[in-house]
Structure 1
Amino acid sequence: MKLGIQNIFQSIWLTIAFVIVGGIMVYGQKSVHPRIYTTDQNKAVFLQTIENVPWKKELVTRKKERLQKYIALWKNEKEWLVSRLQMNWKTKHDKVYLEGGDFSHSEGKAPVPTVRFSGTRDWATEYRSPSLENITPYTDNPKGLYLEHKKTGKKEWVAPKESGHIIEGINRKIMSLVEDSAFLYWVTGDRVYADFATPVFATYIEGMYYRDAPIDMANTNQQFLSGLATFEVIHEKVLIHLITTYDFLYDHLKAQKINISKAEAVFQKWGDQIIKNGVPNNNWNLFQARFLTYVALVLEPNSNYKNGKGREYYLDHTFNTSTERQISIKESLLVYDQENGIWPESASYSVHVITTLLNIITLLDHFTNANELSNFPIVEKAALASFQYLFPSGHTIGFGDSSHKKLPAENFELLITNYQKYGANEKRNIIANLLNDMIAEGDYKREVKDLFQLFFYVNNVVPNEEENEFDLPLVSPTFYAPNVSWFNQRLGSEANAMMVATTGSYGNHAHSNGISIELFAKGSVLAPDMGKGSSYWHKDHTEYYSRMPAHNTVVVNGISDYEPMRSHHPFHLENSFPKTGETPIFDQVTFSNVSFVEPKTKARQLRFTSLIKGPSGAGYVVDVFRSRKPGSDGQRHDYFYHNLGDAFKISSNEEVLKLEDTEDLGSHQGDLKAYDYLTEKKKLTTAKAVSANFNFTSEDGTSDLMEVWVKGSADQTLYSAMAPKSKAITSGTSPKELLNKPIPTLIVQRNAEAWENPFAMVFNPLDYVEDNPILEVEYAQKIENSTAQQIQVKFKDEATQDNIVLNENESVIYDQGNLYQKGLLSITRTEENKAQPSFIFLSG
């Protein structure tokens, strides 16, 4: 039985109460380690597992093999690994100073070498991270780091702020070796592993114990984001390596008289920094909560510490108590749309929020054995809702800072773990069958990448039962998530599967994209989003990838813009069919009609997009985009369309038109800097209707990908250009020959309002081998005193035709010839020599 919101809160509080009381009852005052992933009580069963389950055994074998080289080097020179840590070896500085998102300097004096802070918040760097073998031991040079340039191959001295995440990355790599060694000590009992790990762990802990948290001299927002080792509290991955090492190595550390209290003090200091800093109302909050869960579970009860900051304290701050920059999970889960299960961020971030929550719940449940997942039904709902993000290829949509990826199989693995543990067999079978389908389709291979997965994934996913008895529709013809301003349309199946995702800008990791679309057909995302740039601080991201000209949208006067990332510029859904989440009997048409006010120019915009199934089963897309700036001043509207390919040609009446080179479009004429990223610009001014054919050439010859039928108009100029590569596409959503290649871009420019006479396009996806399903598209000339669009789509059989009439809204009347229409849309399919239409679709 699902719990209501009030009951969820009560259950979470009961959970914490159990941890506070029950955890002490189970473990008493005695320090029992390990306990985060496993316990000594479960050791015999685990050892059997890694012998009998090949894909788990493989990870343990890989870890042993990876360590062999480093243990051999360590045996020959006992300080080999510890000396590669990035520390203030000579200076022993205990204070770190930042200049905004960059390291400035360190100073002060500690009694021991201290841990170096990262170089910069920006991960993009022109330098390579050295292998451990190529690091100079005990390096601590005022010149900075001696690194190899990626392009020149030459080594040079580099200031830390130019080194990206290299400093933190080296320390994290070293501590991952130490973590593996501690784990293998627990598995094998071989003292070599413990002796290898202990001095590195102790040195790092001492170095962090005596070093303060960083101070931003510029007093920017960075002061509220920094961790102890990195510029963002969500990047403190080294903390998990340290905690896991401590957990597996605990008895050995005690025997070696290592100061356990210093390790505990470091974990407390890290936990406090994570609570104090961060971002409270997006994915950061959950990533921070995951670290806090590790801190809580490795520490002893509150009563063990003078400051009272033990297990209960950090669990309470994880689940119940909210602070300025760390919102409790109890409160965070209310951010989800409780109806549709969507988290308010772009897809790539949203699906990993689910993973993070399942990680937290799994860790806590291992400690309490109290079926913690049952307290959080929204997490289960979100895991299943994430299938709505998928193109028919099984890859996530690319709006905002997303890219086309598979859903994390870890989400379903961890659901199975819970269901199997608590006997929820029906749920287990449903999710197991989903996972089996992913495996069968080659989308997932069962393997483990880290210790968390090694301990918590079940050994065997149950086999498919006699095909699914359970009715579990994972996607629907339309899906609307207002909390991220996203509307999906799906039509057709298998080779004829099509999808359009329409997005505004709402929530976190959004782009300045107006009303944008991504279009999937014929197995590829033919009209992709561009993804994110080299980093969020890199010029290519701030000037191009996050701006309107990188999207399939309309830019007004060359300047349409607003702040990306945490954006509040959604579209309004005016009309759609079918109702979101429903699957009607009639399956020939879907559509959305959304409105938007572009904030920079105050232009009103209205975009109608429809998927229509042709008589052969192959579909096409109608896109009508209205845009008008208020006032009578001159206005310009640029319709951007990016399509996969390496070239495209523009034709009229089967005659290829010649475009001339141009210097138009760019910041030199007052346009956004994003226009400057366009190259090979050509233009043609014509009032004719044209078609643009996008193609690419491979070893097998030239293949057509898309034909775009463009309505003609006075005051209209056509541009062709090459745009920077899409960083959203992957080998699963694009022909491999087109990855990392510039994107051919069609720009239809209207030097007049585009509302009464809007942009109108018919997108006709083409197949490598099949004939073109559409013979011709005709647009009626503008009708006086009418904003209606009349489009005729003629098919290759020369007998079938779709007649489409689209009004501005459902209240407008269209009265021409023998058609009277009061309503938004009509689609009539007729065939020669047949008195009755094949179908008539009316809406609005």
Structure 2
Amino acid sequence: MIIKKIVLSLIILCNIMLFHSIQAQSLKHPVIWVTEDERVDILDKIDKYVWAKSIVNQLHNKVDDELKAHQENPNRILNSIPAFAKHDRENSEQKAGPIAAGHNKVLALASEAGMLYYITQEEKYAQFAADILAFYIEHIAPLTPQTTTICGYDFFDPRTTYGPFALTYDFIYTYLQKPNVTVYNKTKGRRVAFSHAKAQKAMSNIVGNVLQEYGNPDQHGKVISNHPILTASGALFGILCIENDKERQRLFDIFWETGTAHQNSFKNTILPMFGEQGIWPESTSYSFMPIITLVLNIVDRVYPEMNVTKENQHIFEGNFLFDHLRYPNRKFVRFGDSKRNNDGTEDLYKYTLAIAERRGYTNLKQQAEIALRQAYDVKGGFKPKLDDHIFNNFEPFDLFWGIPIPEKTEGAINFNKPTVLVKHAGVALQRNYVEKDNVTYGLCGIIGGAHYVHSHVTGIAMELYGAGYVMGPNAGLPPSVQERQIPLHENYFRLYAGNNTVIVNGTSHGLDKNTWKGNSYVWQNTTVNIASEPKHLEDPISTNFNFATQFLKDEVNNCDQERTLSIIRTSEKTAYYFDMFRSKSLDKNKFHDYIYHNIGDETIITNIKNEPISLEETNRYQNDIGDPVQSPGWRYFENTQVTNPTQEAVNVKFHINEDNRYMHLFVPKGIEREYTKALAPPSREAENSYLKKKTQVLAIRQNGEAWDKPFISIFEPSVGSKSSVQSVEPLMDGQKVVGAKVVSKVGKALITDFIISQDTSHASYVNKNLNLKFEGRFGIARVEEIKGEKTVSLYIGDGKKLSLAKVSIQANSLNKEFKSFIIN
């Protein structure tokens, strides 16, 4: 009997050992951000570099006092933890925010204590983190993936609470494996043994709640929003904390390969949405998506045999596009639901540099180092700061992944290229940079529009910068999530009238079918670039001229539209925009409205003699087409006053009283139009007091088509009330308008620009009176006269031949050319 008992005991012991061998994991912790083998190098980094030491000091400042208070009274911090929600559909985004912030504050503290344990190896930090972690484990472990939640909103927990929960476990894992480890149990009021089984069950519930295998399957190749990217870290961090190798691999395969409707496949749904430009196809501030590069880096560290960084080089290259989308004041251009002050570029560069350093991508490493050095130089150095932002807050990465950047780097990246194209958004940027005081005298603008996640319905919208301000802003995104739901956003800012565009027959609108957000009516066709000089991110042939032309085949409103934006410089301190907007309905052309918004305090409409044009009240914009969003959105125009119809040239000034800046708008004579000035809701993210002041609006109505008789506007920003532009006249080809003659006075120079903008690349224009000939789409002939000496400059942006009087040029094989001639 004794022998049988011994044999039975041995069998049981072997089974237990076999079970544990099956459950054991091959991954060594920590593994998510960093490994134990990297600790020596990190300590060396802390010893050598002020910025690294600063991060450690900040961690101590955040943790040490709280740790001491916890040692004196462990209930103090645990009592500050908010109540847990009952399920992950319990709260709206607004209600979940404060709850998530409360939990994140405690869990972030635990993860930061875990980081200090890794750095110092002092067990007091691990014990502090373990006590907090155990409190959450006790609550989560008894649940199921379906019932697991912390804040009650399944979009927030993976971004705010699940990440630091997993990081804490990862950083203190080796401490928790020590014998006789105890944690404080708030319910029992005493210390108890740490339960590994409960910890694994809680981690499994968290991962299961993010993946939601119990929901619908993924549809590979579908177009999705950014949600599964933002929640990806909450899933991946937890998966890497699952001990059982087989189960961890199964969960990772779901995350990477299979996906679910809630957490789409990273490989087969998320990554394929990155087009040839390597950027996430949304509006500017949503497009950064540094979590993509972060996830690729972590996956490459843990599973190097997958070669995920080699297969996604276009995404790393795409990370450098965003710095090309800045205005001279370093704010970002804005299209769709976007915020110009959001900036994710440094994170993109840091994560890219970490990949390039480890994988030996020499060119990528050099680009990242240069981009970071240029960013640090603008800010006065690298001064990392750990903040309390709750969403995907990964600032400590600077310590673990940060690579010292040389004080001097070889080469530079020119982020001031004249032309930048963002293809998914149908946007073309035009820029003219000056070496001295570019913030004041540099120009930059965008034109375009398309349907994509977080788009607006705008046709070919425009945004203009000048004299230190984004003077003519696109609509953008409100400060809070709640404000996105109000009529002001849904029925104005997202629609045509909330942007700088042309409205056809008073009915321009979007469709609801296939739109990125239900009941928003913002689907439109994509604007495409049909010509530009220079091409995307290429060097210009002239420092004074550049242009881009965007075309929209609008199948929603059954019309064709084409917009050309050119920046024309006349001196280091003077330049202007040439905006030509062609538009025609393919049905009946009743009328077209050219809408332009400008920040400021007043709008002054005068004739060419600078005499005010009389105005009378009108209610012509108090109507809509009757759809659910009240398209085209112009009911929000207030104090509308309109001129009588006039064919004369009209000058408009938008005055910014705060520092006496102006935007001058010149409209040439020849076409009968009515000019309405109005006030609109304040512009989002406007500078200084203009964040709260009503926006100045100009609406120009033209009866009939606007293709052969397009809208031409010359915009000149200025410091002070004086403009350098003196007059603007149309260039006519019979009854067709093909450009403008712009006369400027700059110091002692009289500058006359003949700007030709035709609607095909093979069009011909002959003006016998001016002795001017051009074959092509876009060209400029300039005559500059100073004290009787004339210089003629000929510029072909897209064309074959250009001549003025006795001088001429012929384009090269790329259909462009520039040359200057001194005329005696």
- Is the TM-score greater than 0.5? yes
Among 16, 36, 49, the residue aligned to 1:53: 49
1:174 matched to 2:106? The reply is: yes
Partner of 1:358: 293
Aligned residue type for 2:74: K
Contact in 2 for aligned 1:432/1:463 (Cα 8 Å): no
- Distance in 1 (alpha carbons) for counterparts of 2:364 and 2:671: 60
Pick closer, same or farther for the CA change 1:95–1:759 going to 2, 3 Å. closer
Q: State the match for 2:782 in structure 1.
A: 829
Asked if the contact 1:612–1:621 (Cα under 8 Å) also holds between the matched residues in 2, the reply is yes
Change (3 A) 1:804 1:367: closer
Of 502, 514, 532, the residue aligned with 1:554 is 502
Alignment of 1:377-396 (within 5 A): 377-396=313-332
- Counterpart pick for 2:461 among 496, 516, 533: 516
Q: How many residues align?
A: 724
* TM-score after normalising by structure 1: 0.77
User: Is 1:596–1:604's contact at 8 Å kept on the other side of the alignment?
Assistant: yes
Letter aligned with residue 196 of structure 2: I
Query: Where do residues 100-499 of structure 1 align in structure 2 (5 Å cutoff)?
Result: 103=90, 119-121=91-93, 123=94, 163=95, 165-188=97-120, 192-211=124-143, 229-232=152-155, 236-253=159-176, 255-256=181-182, 257-276=193-212, 281-303=224-246, 309-310=247-248, 312-325=249-262, 326-329=264-267, 332-338=270-276, 340-351=277-288, 353=289, 355-367=290-302, 373-405=309-341, 406-422=343-359, 427-442=364-379, 445-449=382-386, 450=394, 452-458=396-402, 460-465=404-409, 467-468=410-411, 473-474=414-415, 476-494=417-435, 495=438, 496-499=441-444
| Alpha-carbon distance in 2 for matches of 1:607, 1:438 | 33
> Contact 1:228/1:273 (CA < 8 Å) preserved in 2?
no
Alpha-carbon displacement from aligned partner over 1:709-764 (angstroms, at most 9, x marks no partner): 123566522222232233355xxxx4x34344432222212243323322110011
Matched AA of 1:761: S
Q: CA deviation at 1:75?
A: 5.1
Counterpart-to-counterpart distance in 2, 1:330 and 1:493 = 44
The one-letter code matched in structure 2 to 1:685 is N
Letter in 2 for 1:479: V
Who wins on radius of gyration, i.e. which is larger? 2
Q: Which residue of 2 aligns with 1:219?
A: none
| Deviation per residue, 1:335-356 (Å, 9 max, x gap) | 3233x333322221222x2x21
Assess if the C-alpha contact under 8 Å between 1:492 and 1:619 holds in 2. no
Cα distance change, pair 677–231 in 1 and its aligned pair in 2 (3 A): farther
Separation in structure 2 between the aligned mates of residue 578 and residue 185 of structure 1, nearest angstrom? 54
Larger mean Cα displacement after TM superposition, 737-746 or 808-817:
808-817
Q: 1:214–1:773: structure 2 CA closer, same or farther, 3 Å change rule? A: farther
Matches of 1:456 and 1:197, distance apart in 2: 19
Residues 703 and 164 of structure 1, relative CA distance in 2, 3 Å threshold: farther
- Taking the TM superposition and a 5 Å limit, the aligned residue runs for 1:755-774 are 755-768=707-720, 772-774=723-725
Question: Which secondary structure does the structure 2 equivalent of 1:788 belong to?
Answer: strand
Offset at residue 454 of structure 1 (A): 4.1
Structure 2 counterpart of 1:757, one-letter code: K
Inter-CA distance 59–704: structure 2 relative to 1 (3 Å threshold): same
1:544 aligns with 2:492: yes
Q: Which residue of 2 aligns with 1:801?
A: 752
Measured after TM superposition, the shift of residue 434 of structure 1 is: 2.6
- Distance 1:375-1:790 versus aligned 2 partners, 3 A rule: closer
Equivalent-residue separation in structure 1 for 2:27 and 2:625 (angstroms): 70
Distance 1:234 1:686 in 2: 59
- Indicate the SS of the match to 1:507: coil
Evaluate the alpha carbon distance shift between residue 211 and residue 744 of structure 1 in structure 2; reply closer, same or farther with a 3 A threshold.
Answer: farther
The CA distance in 2 between the partners of 1:560 and 1:315, in whole Å, is 47
8 Å Cα contact 1:696-1:703 kept in structure 2: yes
Distance 1:477 1:612 in 2: 12
Q: Which moved more, 1:711-720 or 1:69-78?
A: 69-78
* One-letter amino acid of the structure 2 residue matched with residue 272 of structure 1: G
Deviation at 1:707, TM superposition (A): 0.6
The alignment's TM-score, normalised by the length of structure 2, stands at 0.79
The Cα of 1:600 is off from its aligned counterpart by 4.5
1:85 corresponding residue in structure 2: 81
Q: CA deviation at 1:247?
A: 1.6
| Structure 1 partner of 2:653 | 693
Q: Is the 8 A contact 1:342 1:481 kept in 2?
A: no
- C-alpha distance in structure 2 between counterparts of 1:662 and 1:592, whole Å: 36
Q: Which secondary structure does the structure 1 equivalent of 2:726 belong to?
A: strand
Alpha-carbon contact 1:644-1:705 (below 8 Å) kept: no
Task: Report if the CA contact (8 A) 1:317-1:328 is conserved.
Answer: no
Distance 1:41 1:570 in 2: 50
Distance 1:208 1:374, change over 3 A: same
Change (3 A) 1:430 1:198: closer
Q: Which amino acid is the alignment partner of residue 363 of structure 1?
A: I
Kindly state the Cα deviation for residue 552 of structure 1 after the two structures are TM-superposed: 1.1
Does the residue aligned with 2:309 lie in a helix, a strand or coil? helix
Query: Is the deviation greater in 357-366 or in 62-71?
Result: 62-71
Q: Specify the code of the residue in structure 2 equivalent to 1:773.
A: S
1:147 is matched with none
Letter in 2 for 1:801: T
Provide, for residues 368-400 of structure 1, a one-character-per-residue CA deviation record: whole Å limited to 9, x for no partner: 567863443123211223333233443322111
Counterpart for residue 638 of structure 1: 593
Q: CA separation in 2, counterparts of 1:492 and 1:267?
A: 53
Residue 515 of structure 1: CA displacement? 0.3
Q: Percent identity?
A: 21
Distance of aligned partners of 1:581 and 1:280 in 2 relative to their CA distance in 1, 3 Å threshold: closer
CA 1:658–1:171: 2 relative to 1, 3 Å: farther
Q: Among 779, 784, 789, which residue is 2:730 paired with?
A: 779
Please say if 1:709 is aligned against 2:666: yes
1:38 paired with 2:17, answer no
Question: Structure 1 residues 78, 228: closer, same or farther in 2, change over 3 A?
Answer: closer
Hey, what does 2:605 align to over in structure 1? Answer: 650
SS at 2:664 equivalent: strand
Cα displacement (A) at 1:441: 1.8
Mapped partners of 2:763, 2:312: distance in 1? 47
Worse-superposed segment, 63-72 or 636-645: 63-72
How far residue 39 of structure 1 moved from its aligned partner, in angstroms, is: 3.7
Give 1:810 deviation, angstroms: 3.9
- SS state of the match for residue 567, structure 2? strand
Q: CA deviation at 1:238?
A: 0.6
Check conservation: 1:650, 1:690, Cα contact below 8 A.
yes
Shift of 1:706: 1.3
Q: Evaluate the alpha carbon distance shift between residue 587 and residue 207 of structure 1 in structure 2; reply closer, same or farther with a 3 A threshold.
A: same
Structure 1 residues 222-261: Cα deviation after superposition (integer angstroms, max 9, x where no partner): xxxx998424268532111100111233345452233323
Distance 1:631 1:331 in 2: 40
1:744 equivalent in structure 2: 696
> What amino acid is aligned across from residue 709 of structure 1 in structure 2?
F
1:44 deviates by: 5.0
In the alignment, is residue 675 of structure 1 matched against residue 634 of structure 2?
yes
CA distance in 1, matches of 2:62, 2:790: 75
Flag structure 1 segments of 5+ consecutive residues without an equivalent.
1-23, 104-118, 124-162, 216-225, 304-308
- Cα distance per residue 1:559-598 (max 9 Å; x no partner): 3221564755211333332333432433432222222244
Tell me how far apart the structure 1 counterparts of residues 446 and 35 of structure 2 sit (CA, whole Å): 47
Deviation at 1:425, TM superposition (A): 5.6
